[in-house]
Amino acid sequence: MKTIILVTGSTAIDQTGIYDGSFEEYEASYAIQAFNVSFQLADMRTSFGGCAPNIAHGLTQLGVEAIPLSSAGRNFADQYKQHLVNLGVNIDFITIDDEVANCASCLMINDDQGNQVIGFYPGPDNPKRHSPETLPFIDNIALAILGPEEPGLTLRQGRILFEHNVPLMVDPGQVISAFSRDQVRELLTLAQYLVVNDHEFEVLKTNGELTDEEVFGQVPEVVLTHGDKGVGIFTREGICHVNAVPDVTIVEVTGCGDAFRAGYAYGILNNLNVEERAQIGCIMAARNLENPETQRYKIDAEELKTLRAAIYS
């Protein structure tokens, strides 16, 4: 039985600023020209992130062997490595590029309504990083999650995994705007699952010159996340909507998408239906929301099962 989930994507050391107000109120109060804005921040912090280790952390807590395939800058060794080891995340296939000082980084400003302004540095595209076909466990990969990375790298890894009959969950995230028309269309031909939020879906369609129906017709399972409005899943069998977990105290929005993807992937691995997968994803996202930073939340498979029965029964 194939049991490993491979997670590609960045390994990042993030910078997060907290704006004690809402972007909507700011925009109503001050004229914004050419998107020149200035926010007085109430707090600023550094945290460990990146889609690959974020998703791997969520899955590892649920008892899944989730392995990040990523590259990092020199600051990974002294700032990040031991943290992941302590979490039990496999770091054997995170390749350090000694010629690049810094890991990938998200520069984020969060308001008090759960909104974000994000700048993303993708980090090193290390030529020495492990290519999927060289992985000793490639025949035991049940699912690969293609996280946000440079389009050429994403497609190169996707093609290799597709050729090895590995089902792909495609998550282009904040990098989707860098994909050309042809790259978007090729990406969709590789995907068994596509997971994006509202904004990313619109950018994907614009860059790919595609309609909703063309995307849904190409990808067997499209998962659209709508924040506190829940999740829509579009399959050949129809449309399913799952509500977000109610009454969640927002502490940290960063990483909620990654926590959701970890939960959804766990559902796929355990042969749950699309509604159950999305419910688990929403619970994981809510747990992330309630905790500071992206890899500080705690949950296990037994608690997840109990929460799903209580929230969605």
Q: Look at residue 18 and tell me whether its pLDDT is greater than 70.
A: yes
* Spatial CB neighbours of 237, under 8 Å, sequence gap ≥ 6: none
Q: What is the pLDDT of residues 182-238, one digit of tens each?
A: 999 999 999 999 999 999 999 999 999 999 999 999 999 999 999 999 999 999 999
Q: Calculate mean pLDDT across residues 98-122.
A: 84
Asked if pLDDT for residue 128 goes beyond 80, the answer is: no
Asked whether the beta carbons of 69 and 51 are under 8 A apart, the reply is no
The closest of 103, 113, 116 to 17, measured between CA atoms, is 116
- pTM of the complete model: 0.89
CA–CA gap between residue 148 and residue 8 (Å, rounded): 8
Structure tokens at 195: 């997971």
Let me know: does 50 contact 12? Beta carbons within 8 Å: yes
Average pLDDT, the chain: 93
pLDDT at res. 44: 87
Q: How far is CA 142 from CA 169, 223, 258, in A?
A: 11, 19, 18
Greatest mean pLDDT among 1-5, 38-42, 160-164 lies in: 160-164
Quote the DSSP letter at residue 130: P
H-type alpha helices, 138-240: 151-163, 181-190, 198-208, 212-218
- Is 31 a residue whose pLDDT tops 80? no
> Any idea which residue has 């390994």 for tokens?
11
CATH architecture classification, 4-312? 3-Layer(aba) Sandwich (3.40)
Give the model confidence (pLDDT) of 196-211 as tens digits: 999 999 999 999 999 9
pLDDT bin (cut points 50, 70, 90) of residue 110 is: confident
> Residues of 232-248 as b/e, b for ≥16 C-beta within 10 angstroms?
bbbeeeeebebebbeeb
Give the model's pLDDT for residue 126.
67
Report how far apart, in Å, the C-alpha atoms of 93 and of each of 66, 131, 132 are. 11, 10, 10
Using one digit for the tens of pLDDT, what is the confidence trace for 248-306? 998 888 899 999 999 999 999 999 999 999 999 999 999 999 998 889 999 999 999 99
> SS3 for 33?
coil
Per-residue pLDDT, averaged over 71-75, amounts to 92
Q: What are the structural domain ranges in the chain?
A: 4-312
| pLDDT number for residue 122 | 74
Mean pLDDT of 144-170: 96
Reported as a pLDDT band with limits 50, 70 and 90, residue 115 is confident
Rg from Cα positions in the chain:
19
Share of the chain above pLDDT 90, in %: 75
Across the beta sheet with 116-121, the strand order is 41-49, 12-19, 105-110, 116-121
Q: How far apart are CA 145 and CA 147, in angstroms?
A: 6
pLDDT at residue 236 in the model: 93
